[in-house]
Amino acid sequence: MRVCLFEDRRVLDLEPLTLTRPAFDLLCGQNTLATKQWRYFAPCTTGVLIRPSFVPLVQLERTRVAVNNTQWLRAAPTVLVNSRWLPPPGKVSELSSPCVALVGDEVAYAVVGPDRLTYCSPDTIDDCLDLWKATLPQRVAGGTLVRYLWDLVDQNGEQIIVDHEQHKGSRAEVPEQLTVVGPRDLVVVDPTARIEPLVLADTTNGPVVIDQQAQVTAFTRLEGPCYIGPGSQVLGAKIRAGTSLGPHCRVGGEVEASVILGHSNKYHEGFLGHAYLGTWVNLGAGTHNSDLRNDYGEVTVILSGRKVPTGQTKVGCFLGDHTKAGLGTLLNTGTNVGAFCNLLPAGGLLPKYVPSFASVWNGVLRDNVPLETLLETARVVMKRRGQVLTEIHQDLYRGVFAQTRGDRQWAYLEAERSRLRRSA
């Protein structure tokens, strides 16, 4: 079976995380959306249709995947899978004839022959979806099509449970020094992980999974469902239900129902709730975010210059890659911060929207330091953790800088209008 993951126009609604990666590389549960999609179809060969700016990055990271290769795509019947789709548990049962599988009125995947792929490309995929939906037999796909980042946060706890159920094979014994409240068979600890005494795992509401070479220090409480990724360090923290930590994170304080991608630091005390953080994010000591309004009302989030109702009362913050928050930073409910931002405390809540490559200084939104200075800082930070800032990454970030220039101009103008209204 040939499976090709594609990005449609709505991946832009998953910013700021999809500014710097394809949507299928977003983490939900214990692994990425791509891992779940390929697991569902068990393909023999794979491809992707993505935004052109990501082609060099994906070719670097996925050497066996056909990237924007239309010749490969048109060679044989193919299953095209929406990169925003969270499949149902199990595996697909029957794909013998052309069809489109829907979640609501959106295409989760389509089974099409070469004759319908003649004009299919990253630029035309949305038109192709409309045509296939109108002309091919339809079926119910099941699962969920993610629209916004808060949907991934909301789904994360359930996905940890699903991933646990689908990887039930042989399990290592639970370390004797780990105190368990609830079913002991819902604790999964990789043999290479290091668990200190005085660590408690509460599996009353779901599994606690600690991956290879992770470290959990004394006085940590882990509430399932939660997932501690490879090489991550949990340092006397309270990890509440619905939380996933990507690889090589360092986390202290309290984290609730949040997703933190790889190499991000929340080393010190502070609260993070119902949030989604990118890679290489650093939260200074005493950084807190609000995830609930005082009036318990619906939270709105600013996306691409518009206020989007979330339909939820608990929504925290969304921080793009390489963003940093200084000592004692306070983030408001439903805060959206782009990539390469610098957040400095001002004694109160910071703006709810900070565009990529911007800074908040004394409560004022303004340009961050020059782009090349930001890239040099990223190079230093990554080198300290044994990683390299490649030319491919630098070119991608320069492209994002140019792409988000209009967002910065709009945000600065809105901030100045707000200041004038307050002064009047």
The CATH number of the domain holding residue 189 is 2.160.10.10
CB count, 10 Å around CB of 91? 11
Q: Which of 326, 340, 352, 331 is nearest to 415 (CA)?
A: 352
Residues 161, 142 share a domain: no
128 vs 121: CA distance, rounded Å: 9
Residues 369, 239 share a domain: yes
Residues 140, 6 share a domain: yes
Residue with the bigger pLDDT between 162 and 43: it is 162
| pLDDT > 60? residue 170 | no
Which pTM was predicted? 0.96
Amino acid at 86: L
Residues 337, 222 share a domain: yes
Say if CB 32 and CB 4 are below 8 A apart: no
Residues 141, 170 share a domain: no
Query: Can you tell me the mean pLDDT for 213-219?
Result: 98
Say if CB 115 and CB 131 are below 8 A apart: no
Q: Which of 128, 147, 166 is where one domain is finished? A: 147
Residues 172, 92 share a domain: no
248 vs 8: CA distance, rounded Å: 30
Q: Residue 185 phi/psi, 5° resolution?
A: -75, -5
Residues 188, 116 share a domain: no
Q: Which of 147, 178, 208 is where one domain is finished? A: 147
Residues 155, 143 share a domain: no
Domain that holds residue 41: 2-147
How many distinct structural domains can be found in the chain? 2
Residues 270, 195 share a domain: yes
Omega of the bond leading into 56 within 30 degrees of 0 (cis):
no
Let me know if 51 is exposed, middle or buried by CB neighbors in 10 A (0-12, 13-18, 19+): middle
Q: Which two tokens stand for residue 283?
A: 């939260």
In this predicted model, what pLDDT tens digit does every residue of 308-350 receive, in sequence order?
999 999 999 999 999 999 999 999 999 999 999 999 998 899 9
Q: Which two tokens stand for residue 104?
A: 């609501």
Can you name the residues that pair with 227 across neighbouring β-strands? 209, 244
In this predicted model, what pLDDT tens digit does every residue of 353-369 receive, in sequence order?
999 999 999 889 999 99
Residues 126, 54 share a domain: yes
The CATH number that applies at residue 45 is 3.90.550.10
Residues 235, 96 share a domain: no
Q: Which of 147, 169, 204 is where one domain is finished? A: 147
CB count, 10 Å around CB of 411? 22
Say if CB 102 and CB 141 are below 8 A apart: yes
Residues 354, 257 share a domain: yes
In this predicted model, what pLDDT tens digit does every residue of 243-294 receive, in sequence order?
999 999 999 999 999 999 999 999 999 999 999 999 999 999 999 999 999 9
